[in-house]
A and B are shown apart, each in its own frame.
Chain A
Amino acid sequence: MTDHRREIQLPEEQAQRELRRKTRRDFLIAGVAAAGAIGGYEWITTARREDDVPWPQRRVLEANRKLAESYLNDSHLMPTYSPTQVEHLKSNGDIGLDTPLDAAKWQLQVATDSAPPMSLSLDDIKSLPKTEMVTRFCCIEGWSVIAHWGGARFSDFTNKYLPPGARLPGYVYMATAGEDYYVGLDMKSALHPQTLLAYEQNGVPLAPDHGAPLRLAIPVKYGIKNIKRIGLIRYTNTKPGDYWAEEGYDWFAGL
């Protein structure tokens, strides 16, 4: 402001002129600012897309991820409930489940960037300590239900099956056998104590439409990361692809 007084008294004609001058000047500034804001918004919403999100927005989502990932630690837990509070979980995703499951032939491939893949059976997973948890399952659509899972902690799995001496890579990639559905996970969320390779729901083996024989139960992520019927797990240092992130969703999708 050029004028620091809060009140000016002027003869009528002069007052009107002064008011017109201020009005002209500030409405011009307002017009320029509005045009700038509209231009900025246009840029933010129409810039070249990265995985179906304009890149300026993708950069902010990635910054949000870094912030959330650095804050995340193993003591950040989704609240747990008693099994009597369990609610009905509808089957919401069937990508990669279109062929009937042949349980006898099912295998889990485990790979790293360098080591050749190895095959594991469901019994190998079941030989790990079993954990049960009753936690909220949050769908990215907005609904949530309390669900009861049983399985092996992914951290226990990693301790056992990641080649000893190997440095812990930054990411985990999990996919259905044909890689029709796939998710990318940051290592911190993957090793979170509530992240399970689940083979049971409500105390019984998983139903086919809920991911039999083995799925991911990861309450610190939206449902889209809770991949069903896992056929492949790859430890990697390259940020893995993710089915829904490629459709414009946040790659991290953390809660």
Chain B
Amino acid sequence: MQTLKLKHLVAVRWFHWINFPLLFIMIWSGILIYWAYPIYHIGPFRFFPSWVYSTLHIDHRLANGMALHFVFMWLFVINGILYVAYTLISGEWKMLVPRSLSAFRDAWYVALHDLHLRGDPPVQGKYNAAQQISYTAIIVMGIGSVLSGLAIYKPAQLAWLTMLFGGYRGARLVHFILTIGYLLFFLVHVMQVILAGWNNFRSMVIGWELSDETGRSGLKTEEHLVHD
């Protein structure tokens, strides 16, 4: 006997795969805008080195970037709001949100386990602690991006919001740092998906996952591999 388990609900799969190109377009158009005043750096490392702009043809496209950014922001925000509303109404949030501070310790153990520095991963539900923290953080980041974005977009009309981010320049910096955060999230996320394998990736498309274990908890073996 084999067990097929429904892992990802159809709505969540649509939200996820709709968000992917939207976030990509927001980041891409954001970099087209950022090019016009690319001041951020960490020590000698500039965001971004000039070859990035020339290779990707990012230069002199400020108007292009702004138009795309202020068109696709609507779809990005609507999809995000629907996703959050859905997880709240469906109760999915209970599996996604870390329930106690011990999640941070568990997430650390998960990371050590993934790096083969520790034997057994901690006991988990549908998502492990590292996933819970990542998937909750990414939503908080999304809200931060929308709010800091609004603070830069309308610093007169929403002056109070701009103030909350430490002013116009502060809001721009927050907006940028969050973008770098998405790029880092994306790197780790894709790596983990590759490591977790086809069965896991397929479940994000079709919803169902094959479990070799019969009976009781079904997916435990798979779940350990799946951090995304």
A residues neighboring B (CB under 8 Å): 1, 3, 5-12, 15-16, 18-19, 22-23, 25-27, 30, 33, 37, 41, 44-45, 52-53, 56-58, 60-61, 64, 68, 71-72, 76-79, 136, 138-144, 219-220, 244, 247-250, 254-255
Smallest distance from the beta carbon of A66 to chain B beta carbons, Å? 13
* Cβ-defined contact, B67 with A250, below 8 A: yes
Known contacts A15-B4, A37-B21: A9-B214 contact under CB 8 Å:
yes
Instruction: Let me know if B156 and A15 touch, CB within 8 A.
Output: no
A49 smallest CB distance to B (angstroms): 11
CB < 8 Å: which of B63, B155, B206 contacts A136?
A: B155
Chain B: interface secondary structure? Answer: helix
Smallest CB-CB separation from A18: which chain B residue?
Answer: B4
Near A by CB (< 8 A), chain B positions 184-221 give 202, 205-208, 210, 214, 218
| B70 partner residues in chain A, CB cutoff 8 A | 60-61, 64, 250
Q: How many residues of B contact A (CB 8 A)?
A: 44
Asked if A250 and B156 sit within 8 Å, CB to CB, the answer is no
Residues of B with C-beta under 8 A to A250? 66-67, 70
List CB contacts (< 8 Å) of B127-157 with chain A: 153-157
Q: Which residues of A contact B25 (CB under 8 A)?
A: 41
A selection of 5 A-B contacts at a CB cut-off of 8 Å is A58-B67, A60-B74, A142-B34, A144-B169, A248-B64
Q: A60-B70, A136-B155 are in contact. Are A15 and B2 (CB under 8 A)?
A: yes
Q: Known contacts A19-B208, A37-B21, A57-B67: does B155 contact A138 (CB below 8 Å)?
A: yes
Query: A1 touching B10 by the CB < 8 A rule?
Result: yes
Give the residue of A7, A27, A37, A72 whose beta carbon is less than 8 angstroms from that of B218: A7
Partner of B1, one of A10, A64, A136: A10
Give the residue among B64, B67, B70, B167 with the most A Cβ atoms within 10 A. B67
Q: Chain A nearest CB: distance from B13 CB in Å? A: 9
Q: B51 at the A/B interface (Cβ < 8 Å)?
A: no
Is there an interface contact between B156 and A27, defined as CB atoms closer than 8 Å? Answer: no
> Bound state CA distance, A248 and B56, in angstroms?
21
Q: Report the separation of the CA atoms of residues A22 and B70 in the bound assembly, to the nearest whole angstrom.
A: 37
Judged by a CB distance under 8 angstroms, whether B85 is at the interface is no
Residue in B34, B168, B208, B218 whose CB lies within 8 Å of A22 = B208
A233 CB → nearest B CB, Å: 22
Chain A residue nearest to B3 (CB atoms) is: A9
